[in-house]
């Protein structure tokens, strides 16, 4: 199995397992960021939008609201669990006909009819070949179509300042991985790929054909009432890939060590502020 296929499988399997609880423990982190992506697109009623890596609909639902009853949003995701859960949510909200989620590879897709806009909320860094995803997104848009995405800012090959809780957790869990097992956390964050910096991110978008590439940094924050709330949330998102590699007989030990290590970030009331500095990209075809 190639490294690219292995990484894709790791990501798909983690999100399949997390679909029912995704971003649901403690604070909802990705829904505000999804709304931010939809707002960046400056959508108009009646537009058709493609949501790449739709997950549970953090971008899809605000997009559907903004394009209105005459518009349409198609979400694609490689995890069947996410597609199923998002479809259930679409039906529950009465949006059938205006929104749809389907299985799809973010690095290899095409559509007969072009879209007015596309979104990719916190997904590009998970892809072993982000350049292919950008090329597919470019091809799926009409001339003048907009593409908005969020990803992680990095500094010197690490997550940017502000991601202290994620760095602490990654450091703890890495010590519990079996010998010879590679930590997937750093592999999927784009720390060595085309999204490593604002400059390289812009270059990757322009290489795909996009123009008017606008990149901003957003100091997004949230708060969990307890460290345990935060740890529960980390089992429903990307970091599940680390948790799943910890031997079952060591999970309690790893959780205890993570809880102790994170106390340095806890407030007097025991709450934990989760800082998630975010890079936004808005590009035009």
Question: ∠ CA(274), CA(276), CA(278), 5° rounding?
Answer: 165
Say what the pLDDT of residue 31 is.
Answer: 75
Residue 197, pLDDT score? 85
At residue 194, the pLDDT reads 84
Strand partners, 115: 141
pLDDT of residue 2: 56
Model-level pTM? 0.84
- Residues in a beta bridge with 123: none
Residue 221 near residue 275 (C-beta atoms within 8 A): yes
Where are the alpha helices (H) located in the chain, listed in sequence order? 3-18, 30-40, 60-67, 80-92, 130-140, 164-174, 184-188, 198-207, 227-234, 240-243, 251-262
pLDDT for res 24: 52
- Closest by CA to 185, choosing from 176, 193, 173, 197, is 173
- Stretches where the chain sits below pLDDT 70 are 1-30, 155-162, 183-192
């Amino acid at each position: 199995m190639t490294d690219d296929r292995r990484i894709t499988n790791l990501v798909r399997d983690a999100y399949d397992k997390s679909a029912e609880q995704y971003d649901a423990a403690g604070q909802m982190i990705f829904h505000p960021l999804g709304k931010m992506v939809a707002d960046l697109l400056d959508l108009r009623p009646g537009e058709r939008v493609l949501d790449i890596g739709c997950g549970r609909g953090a971008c899809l639902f605000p997009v559907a609201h903004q394009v209105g009853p005459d518009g349409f949003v198609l979400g694609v995701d490689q995890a069947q669990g996410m597609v199923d859960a998002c479809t259930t949510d679409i039906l529950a909200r009465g949006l059938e006909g205006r929104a749809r989620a389907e299985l799809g590879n973010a690095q290899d897709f095409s559509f007969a009819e072009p879209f007015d806009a596309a979104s990719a909320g916190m997904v590009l860094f998970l892809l072993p070949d982000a350049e292919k995803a950008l090329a597919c997104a470019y091809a799926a848009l009409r001339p003048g179509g907009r593409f908005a995405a969020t990803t992680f800012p990095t500094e010197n090959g690490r997550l940017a300042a502000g991601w202290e809780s994620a760095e602490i957790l990654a450091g703890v869990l890495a010590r519990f991985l079996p010998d010879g097992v590679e930590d997937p956390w750093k592999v999927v964050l784009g720390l060595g790929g085309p999204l490593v910096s604002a400059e390289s991110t812009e270059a990757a978008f322009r290489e795909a054909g996009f123009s008017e590439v606008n990149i901003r940094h957003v100091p997004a924050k949230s708060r969990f009432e307890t460290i345990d709330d935060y740890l529960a949330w980390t089992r429903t998102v990307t970091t599940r890939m680390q948790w799943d590699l910890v031997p079952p007989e060591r999970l309690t030990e790893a959780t205890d060590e993570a809880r102790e290590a994170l106390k340095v970030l806890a407030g007097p009331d025991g709450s934990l502020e989760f800082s998630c500095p975010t890079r936004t990209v808005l590009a035009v075809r």
